[in-house]
A and B are shown apart, each in its own frame.
Chain A
Amino acid sequence: MFDVYRTYWRINLLTTLEYRANFLLWFGFTFVYHGSAVAALWIMLNNFPSMQGWDFRDMAFLYGLWMVAHALNATFFSTVDQIPEWIHDGEFDRFLVRPLDALYQVITTPGQVFPDELLLALAFLTVATIAGHLAVTPLFIVLVALVVAGGALIDLSINLLISTAAFWFVQVDALRWIALQLEQEFTRYPLTIYSRGVRLLLAFVIPFGFMNFFPATYFLHKTSNGLGLPTAIGALTPLIGIVFLAVAYTFWRAGLQRYQGVGH
C-alpha cells in the first residue's frame, strides 16, 4: 500500500520535471492568484483601520491558515475532483476491479502534482505569524499543524461530497464551482461580518469557518467568534475535520453501492 504511494509521488515529480516551462507558468499563476488576494486585503486595510477589530496582520494570518489547509488538500487529494469526469467517461470502473479501496486508488492516480503551492503557503503563514508577533511555542506549532491538517480534511470532505453527487447527477461542475467560490471568498474575512444565518451555515453546515476563522480567533486571542461560544472551539478543527470526513465517506460509500447496483 505504501509502495503504491511512493511510486505515485515519484511519477508526479518526474512528470512535473518533464514539463518544466508549464510548471513554471502554473507556479506563476499560483503566485499571482494568492498575491492578488493578499494585495487586495492590504489595499483595503490601508484605507481603513480595521475590519471589525481585525487589522491587516490578523487578516494575513487568517488567509495563511486557509492557504496552508487548502494547499494541503490540493497537493495530496487533488484527484478527488476528477471523479465525476471518470464516472462520465466510464474510466471509473477500472478502480472497482482492482484489489485496493476505490478512493485510495483515486487519490494515488498520478497527475502533474508538485508541492509548490504548499511550500508557498507555508512560507506565507510563517511570515504572517512572525509579522503578527504571535508567541511561537512548541504547543503553538503542534496546534497549528493539527488545525491545518483538520482544515485540509474539511476541504477534502467538501470535494468528496460534491464528487459523490456525480453518482446521481451527471453535471456537478457548477456545484463545485459555487462551493469553491464560497470557500475562497467567505474564508477571506472575519466571520463576524456576516449575518447570523450565514455564520451558522459556515460554522456547522459547510464548516469553512473551522478551516481558518475559529482557529484564528483562538490563536490571536480575539474576544468574540460571533457565535457566543468560547473562542477555544477554534482548537476543535481537527475533530470537526474527522467528523465531516466520516460523513462524506459514508455518503461516498452509499454512492459507490448505488453505482455498482446500476451495473455499469
Chain B
Amino acid sequence: MLEAYVQFALKAIAREATYRFEVFTSIASLAVRVYLLRVVWVALYAHNAAPQGVALHTIITYSTIALLMGLVLDIDQTRLLHDKLHDGSIVVDFMKPISVPLYFFSDGTGEVLFHAALIVPSLALAAFIVHIDIPSAAVLAAFALSFFLGYFVGFFLNFILNCIAFWTLEISAVQLIVTWVTDLLGGQIVPLVFFPAALQGAIFALPFAAMYSTPLLIYVGRIPPEGYASAMGLQALWIVILGAAAALIWRAGARRVIVQGG
C-alpha cells in the first residue's frame, strides 16, 4: 500500500525534472539575490557596527540560508489539489482505492525533494559570492530538525489555501498575498529581531515565524541550545493546530464534492 505513495512521489520528481529552464532560472536568480543581499547589508553595516548584537557575517549567513530555504519553502506543493478541483478531475481520485490527502502529500513531497536537491548546486554557487558560517554538527542537526518542522507548517498552510478552491475557484491572489506576508513576517527578508520591539512578541507567535525564523535563528546561534525545546515546541504546536484545521476543511470540502456528484 505504501508503495503506491512512493510511486506518486517518484512520478512528481520526474515531472519536475522536465522543467529544465525553470531549474536554471531559479539557480541563476538565487545567485543574483545572494550578490544583492551582500551589497545591501555591507552598505548598511558601513556606518553601524552591530545593531541588536547581530554582526555582519551573521546577517549574511542568515540571509543566504534564508534564500536557500526558500527553494523548498516557496514551493506550493499542494497546487495539484487546486488544479484538480479546477478541472474537476478530483472526482476520479475519490473513486480510486487511495487516501486522497495522502496522495497529494506524496506528490508534494516528490516535488519538494526535487527542489531540495537544487540546494546543493545553489549552495556551492553562493559560497563563491559570500562567506557562510558553518555551525557545529549539533547545531546543524537542530537546524535540520527545526527546518523539517517548519516545512510541515508551510505544508498545512498551503494545503488549507488550496482547499479554499472547494468553495471558490480563483485563489491565486490570496496565495500571492500569503507568500509575501510569509516572506516578510517569517523573517526571510529581514530578521525578525530587527523589527520594532513592540511588534516582535506578536510576530514571533505567528505561524510564519515557525517556517523561516526559528530554524534560521537556531542556525546563527541566536536561539541557544537551552531554547531549542520551547522554540521547536511552538513549531510543533503550529503543526498540530494547522493540521487539525486542514483536516476539518478537507472533510467539509470533500463532502461538497460528493454532494455535487449526486
Contact = CB atoms under 8 A, between A and B. Distances in A.
B117 interface: no
Interface stretch (A139-147, A177-185, A214-222, A234-242): A177-185
Q: Which of B39, B44, B183 has the most CB of A within 10 A?
A: B44
Contact of A32 (B22, B32, B51, B180): B180
Nearest to A45: B44
Interface in A2-40: 22, 25-26, 28-29, 32-33, 36, 39-40
A48 B180 contact: no
Interface stretch (A49-57, A90-98, A149-157): A49-57
B233 to A, nearest CB: 27
Contact of A22 (B40, B46, B170): B170
B29 interface: yes
A189 B181 contact: no
B167 interface: no
B25 interface: yes
A259 interface: no
A182 B36 CA distance: 10
B28 interface: yes
A185 B36 contact: yes
Q: A interface, by DSSP: helix, strand, loop or mixed?
A: helix
Taking each of A29, A185, A186, A189, which has the highest tally of chain B beta carbons within 10 Å of its own beta carbon? A29
Choose among B39, B174, B177 the residue with the greatest number of A CB atoms under 10 Å from its CB.
Answer: B177
B174 A193 contact: no
A177 B25 contact: yes
Contacts of B230: none
B28 A47 contact: no
A194 interface: yes
Given A22-B173, A29-B176, A185-B33, A36 B39 contact: no
B173 A48 contact: no
Interface residues of B, number: 34
A224 interface: no
A171 B43 CA distance: 37
B24 interface: yes
A174 B19 CA distance: 11
A49 B48 contact: yes
A67 to B, nearest CB: 15
Contact of B48 (A48, A177, A186): A48
Interface string A157-179: 00000000000000101100110
A44 interface: yes
A28 B32 CA distance: 28
B90 interface: no
B105 to A, nearest CB: 27
Nearest to A195: B39
B39 A194 contact: yes
Contacts of A51: 40, 43-44
A46 interface: yes
Interface in B162-220: 170, 173-174, 176-177, 180-181, 183-184, 189-190, 194-196
A49 B43 CA distance: 11
A1 B196 CA distance: 54
A100 interface: no
The residue in A28, A48, A177 that gathers the most chain B C-beta atoms within 10 A of its C-beta is A48
Nearest to B189: A40
A186 B40 CA distance: 10
A253 to B, nearest CB: 27
Given A43-B190, A48-B44, A194-B39, A174 B51 contact: no
Contact of B40 (A32, A50, A189): A189
Ranked nearest first, the 5 interchain pairs of A and B with the lowest CB-CB distance are: A25-B173, A193-B43, A47-B51, A174-B25, A36-B184
Given A29-B177, A29-B180, A43-B190, 13 more contacts: A28-B173, A32-B177, A33-B176, A36-B183, A43-B195, A46-B196, A47-B51, A48-B47, A171-B21, A177-B29, A178-B28, A181-B32, A193-B43
10 contacts: A25-B173, A29-B176, A36-B181, A40-B190, A44-B44, A49-B47, A51-B40, A174-B22, A178-B28, A181-B33
